[in-house]
Structure 1
């Protein structure tokens, strides 16, 4: 922060009349980071003013060699604390002002006392606001001025007739006081920066969770709509082609379109309900491998024959893995409908103690036609598998056709691995 405030005048920098070694500031137009938008600290300033005025009266009784408090002394005490009202908006100006008023107070021979608290508060505010050099400069000016007054100028300053040279040991006490002010101010600055960092980290974590949730919703909607719209697209084309020659078959196609659209609307509504009310439980259970027969029937309505084979001992699959497995098979069959010339596909579900393997094959060849897809199907499948620490392999088979193989880990005991959102991959 200090480096940002130490820009010297030049092109693009502050004008020369607003520059100083402690950093640029403009008393009549404070920067936002200097507290320009904060409320004035009336209560603390009034409390400090009362404490300094009353405390100075008590301090006066033990310092008979100093000048008694008079209206001028009261005015200086008031000025030293009243200027603290602007310590958040103009910390540099206030730090030097309190130090200067305190020097005048000491030089006038008035008793030592709580007036130094005003300097401590103003320097603390300057350090916390990031003007470390301004705070050091203010306490350094106060200390140097005190040295001059106490050891050289005391002969010409009140009280009159003062010829006693003050001990240099007293300056050690002042030095300790100065170091204490700086140390406490630095501690406050570090603590404030730590709070700001923690707030930024919490905000970043919340943003990351929101991004992950949006990505999950987008992936879910893509998988639901892509499959259903593909079925509707195929059936609509079939219905148009058979509308005149085979009205009964066209009626069947329209019935299939109605069923597919109703199912898609139901699943989209379920996803959107979860999005609107994240704390509520979904009204319907998430789809899983137990709904593979429905996928087979939907594929059959598009003219695609699907053979499902199950190997191994079927075990309880965690809900997240079950949903991912269903969506992967659904997307793979959707791609067969869209992009393959084959009207036959095979689905293998292989259960192992530590993993669930899915394999979807078609005999091809690829049609090369634009089926209106978004091109994110394979990316979505990879994201689902990666979120569960699984893998996806997709590509042409050596004997023709296309194969999609997914391996999803199954943790012991039926618990699910902690899902993480994988970065999107461009296809």
Structure 2
């Protein structure tokens, strides 16, 4: 059993819930510290305060003796277990206080031990036990103060007034109310911490997804160009060395640009708050995509001028065009593509067409590429349509909401 307790592989019901007499802290954190300091402080206050109260109520209540001090020590010492066993502690302190009052000793800080025990029980979730213990204490005081006082010390003691009982009842309700308020606040703080942790995990997941999407777009485009040019270079290495040299030059340029883009993406992993070392790409770099596609043997015709867009929309539009042209190079037999830009009505309509048949089963590109384009568009509230055209070829149509900025 002890070995199971250490390893945490005991019965599921025991691991989850623990003993019904134990507090929640002990179930969640077996190594919770004992409240030595606070218990010693309360013990000192109770002993000193009770001596002072006995002096002030001399002649009205019984003087403190050894039994009274033992009761005070027991009630105070029980608080040492208030976080581990809140239910027995709240009943134990209430019973000690009831015996203390029934013996006729002076009213004093003994009630402080009951208040702290009640507070710990309510915060630990044992509300009913705290209510019952306080109710028993109040009922016991009513019984002693209005009936049993005739046979209990001190001698010639008179019954208490009902106004005093009202004060005690108010004191009991105040203790429970403060305990309930503390429990509610603690549960609220726990929910807020859980929500903040969940939001942080969600932001981290979104950031990882964004970086993965950026790396995919950068590497897929550049590696496609490199793959095509490597094939051309190998085919013409013997018959046309000059053309092979051109292909190798294109490979060098594409790889250099890919390394730069990868570094820019990885810069976002640096210390949060640092400014990026280079601006994110946008449609103003569309001529570079056209030039890269031309080096890969693809002629790209651009219709429309790149509008001024917010940075997020500008980057998404650039990556969508980049992915679409990459798919044409890799998966289409066409050597010609058309890019049309139309910015009207607060939305950018981006269309990429090619006329050639697919060279394999992945017409229009891989599922990862198309999924990445859809995710980019959806993140901005836009849409992506991709599929074969009725007259042959393939079309990618993106609609991205945007607002023109007066100042870039």
Which TM-score applies when normalising by structure 2?
Answer: 0.89
Decide which of 254, 274, 299 is 1:305's aligned counterpart.
299
Aligned counterparts of 2:378 and 2:25: Cα–Cα separation in 1: 51
CA deviations on 1:261-287 (whole Å, 9 max, x unpaired) are 111111111111211233222222211
Decide which of 169, 173, 176 is 2:167's aligned counterpart.
173
Is 1:123 aligned to residue 118 of structure 2? yes
Match of residue 236 from structure 1: 230
* Alpha-carbon distance, 1:14 to partner: 5.8
Match of residue 377 from structure 1: 369
Match of residue 6 from structure 2: none
CA deviations on 1:134-180 (whole Å, 9 max, x unpaired) are 21222123223323333443344322454x44444433222222211
Question: What secondary structure is seen at the aligned counterpart in 2 of 1:134?
Answer: helix
* Alpha-carbon distance, 1:90 to partner: 2.0
Decide which of 120, 129, 132 is 1:134's aligned counterpart.
129
Aligned counterparts of 2:186 and 2:317: Cα–Cα separation in 1: 48
Question: What secondary structure is seen at the aligned counterpart in 2 of 1:31?
Answer: helix
Residue pairs, 1:353-368, within 5 angstroms = 354-368=346-360
Gaps of 5+ in 1: 1-10, 417-427
Aligned counterparts of 2:268 and 2:25: Cα–Cα separation in 1: 46
Match of residue 56 from structure 1: 50
Aligned counterparts of 1:412 and 1:292: Cα–Cα separation in 2: 18
Aligned residues: 395
Decide which of 324, 329, 345 is 1:332's aligned counterpart.
324
Aligned counterparts of 1:340 and 1:13: Cα–Cα separation in 2: 60
Aligned counterparts of 1:413 and 1:282: Cα–Cα separation in 2: 21
CA deviations on 1:185-211 (whole Å, 9 max, x unpaired) are 111100111111111111112112111
CA contact 2:22–2:86 (8 Å) conserved in 1: no
CA deviations on 1:348-388 (whole Å, 9 max, x unpaired) are 122336222211110021122569x7521111112212222
Decide which of 90, 93, 116 is 2:88's aligned counterpart.
93
* Alpha-carbon distance, 1:412 to partner: 4.7
Match of residue 280 from structure 1: 274
CA deviations on 1:12-64 (whole Å, 9 max, x unpaired) are 6569xx97xxxx1259x97324x644323333323322222222223221352
Question: What secondary structure is seen at the aligned counterpart in 1 of 2:353?
Answer: strand
Gaps of 5+ in 2: 1-10
Match of residue 256 from structure 2: 262
CA contact 2:351–2:397 (8 Å) conserved in 1: yes
Is 1:395 aligned to residue 395 of structure 2? no
| Alignment root-mean-square deviation, CA | 2.7
Match of residue 8 from structure 2: none
Aligned counterparts of 2:293 and 2:263: Cα–Cα separation in 1: 23
Over 4 Å off, 4+ runs: 11-15
CA contact 1:394–1:404 (8 Å) conserved in 2: yes
Is 1:111 aligned to residue 106 of structure 2? yes
Match of residue 208 from structure 2: 214
Match of residue 350 from structure 1: 342
Aligned counterparts of 2:328 and 2:122: Cα–Cα separation in 1: 67
